[in-house]
Amino acid sequence: MNTTGLAVTDHTVTVGPMHLATGTLAINGTGFIQTEQLVINQINALSGVLGQKITIIDEDGAID
């Protein structure tokens, strides 16, 4: 767990995009969330970014 409060540490790069995962507009965000996770998994499988793994913080815009 990153306790430094920084997005980049010695071992990871943390990204935290906000997409709509719930609510009436969730259908628009679901594809983005799945695509984002797929791409991050592929990048991490290829040694990450400059040798650092990417971690994601999931946030929900939750527009009803």
Of 64, 54, 56, whose CA–CA distance to 21 is shortest? 64
- pLDDT at residue 63 above 60? yes
Hunting for tokens 């997409």 — which residue is that? 19
Structure tokens at 23: 């609510």
Domain boundaries, the chain: 12-60
Residue range 7-22, pLDDT digits in tens: 666 778 888 877 777 8
Residue 58 has a pLDDT of 77
Residue 6 has a pLDDT of 59
Structure tokens at 17: 């995009």
Distance CA 9, CA 12 (A): 5
Stretch 2-6: mean pLDDT: 58
Show Cβ contacts of residue 11 under 8 Å, excluding neighbours closer than 6 positions: 52, 53
Of 63, 61, 57, whose CA–CA distance to 19 is shortest? 61
Please state the pTM of the whole predicted model.
0.69
